[in-house]
Amino acid sequence: MPIRVVVAEDSLIVREGIGTLLATYDEIEVVESVGDLPSLLEAVDTHSPDVVLTDIRMPPTGTDEGIRAAAELRAHHPSIGVVVLSQFAEHSYALALFDQGSEGRAYLLKERIADADQLLLAIRDVARGGSMVDPKVVEALVTQSGRIESPLERLTPREKEVLEGIAQGRNNAAVARALGLSERAVEKHINSLFSKLGLSEEPDVHRRVKAVLLFLGDHEGG
């Protein structure tokens, strides 16, 4: 069965482009494309999609409609995954998106529309309850970590590399391959960084993303 997707984007050109791109994948079925929040919620009620792919800013206010849609779906359609596209690495939006949990949520920069593999990976992940934070967001924030006091200063360079990997949606085996480590070594690094960030008691899926969000929060307003 294909992953059924509703696309929400106020720009007709971008909306049509996303639809055309996703149509090239047999595993994706775009069931409707809309341009505002009320139409998005109506499309969800009509089609019961597996995933919603939405811009953050749409009519009627052009502010945080994508985040509000994600919260609405969490409350009333918890099984529907949401991929939120943002033009900028907005810390407050990322934190709000994951506020009620990271399961089935992804935060990507809008430029990922041109990166079909990354976009497809995010849709797959949220459809099965996973989560993702854009690798470029993570990379930029980790690069800044030495300039601003943050919880990530407690991490070793290797632990930061592992954090980047898990924030990109990689499992432990994939992180190990990317860094040339054993899976056991990766597990040790992950347990260590979770402990240093005070996430030892968090559920496993949520704390993998929460580790990144703690860093996002430290940069809020910075």
| Residue that finishes a domain, picked among 92, 112, 133 | 133
- Are the C-beta atoms of 5 and 30 separated by less than 8 Å? yes
Q: What is the pLDDT of residues 92-126, one digit of tens each?
A: 777 788 777 788 999 998 887 887 888 898 999 99
Tally of domains within the chain? 2
Domain shared by 67 and 15, yes or no: yes
Confidence of residue 221 (pLDDT cuts 50, 70, 90): very low
Q: What is the pLDDT of residues 203-216, one digit of tens each?
A: 555 566 666 666 55
Give the CA-trace dihedral at 94, 100, 106, 108, to 10 degrees.
-10
Q: Return the closest-CA partner of residue 56 out of 71, 45, 44.
A: 71
Domain shared by 142 and 50, yes or no: no
| Residue that finishes a domain, picked among 133, 163, 190 | 133
Range of the domain at 210: 137-218
**More confident: 206 or 146:** 206
pLDDT at 146 over 60: no
Domain shared by 122 and 150, yes or no: no
What CA–CA distances, in Å, run from 111 to 85, 89, 90, 127? 8, 11, 14, 21
CATH of the domain at 157: 1.10.10.10
Structure token digits, residue 184: 């056991």
Domain shared by 112 and 192, yes or no: no
| Residue that finishes a domain, picked among 94, 115, 133 | 133
- Are the C-beta atoms of 123 and 81 separated by less than 8 Å? yes
Structure token digits, residue 13: 């050109």
Domain shared by 53 and 160, yes or no: no
CATH of the domain at 74: 3.40.50.2300
The mean-pLDDT minimum among 5-9, 17-21, 198-202 falls in 198-202
**Residues near 201 by Cβ (< 8 Å), separated by ≥ 6?**
none
What CA–CA distances, in Å, run from 204 to 23, 29, 191, 193, 209? 34, 31, 10, 13, 9
